[in-house]
Amino acid sequence: MRTARRIALVMAMAAVAVAAAAAQDAGAGIYKAKCQNCHGSDGMAGSGVGKIMKVKPVTDPAVKSMSEAQMTAAVRNGLGKMQPYKDSLTDAQIKAAVEYFRAFIR
């Protein structure tokens, strides 16, 4: 019985890891398609468009201090010169892109 429990636990942990990797991949794809042009491949806003629009890099204290909910609202509704994505991305896609971006902060 113990072996069966261990196998079930290992399988559950593997499923969680696979799901997390899939979510990260989805977030990366959305970020690359919708965000990277302005925010840069590394969140540093070093692209030409990012510099022209004066996008703050991920290292800026104002960006670092934003909660996940604040970033999600910014993507959904737009912020400053950033366009809103509520009509072109689902809530799950927005969440995935924000989670991907927030990984640059760590």
In the chain, what are the domains?
Answer: 2-102 (1.10.760.10)
> Taking a C-beta distance cutoff of 8 angstroms, is the pair 38, 74 a contact?
no
Place 5 in a pLDDT band, splitting at 50, 70 and 90. confident
pLDDT tens by residue, 43-101: 999 999 999 999 999 999 999 999 999 999 999 999 999 999 999 999 999 999 999 99
Q: What angle do CA 80, 70, 84 make, to 5 degrees?
A: 45
Query: How far is residue 102's CA from residue 18's CA, in Å, rounded to a whole number?
Result: 20
Q: What does DSSP assign to residue 82?
A: B
Residue 50: per-residue pLDDT:
95
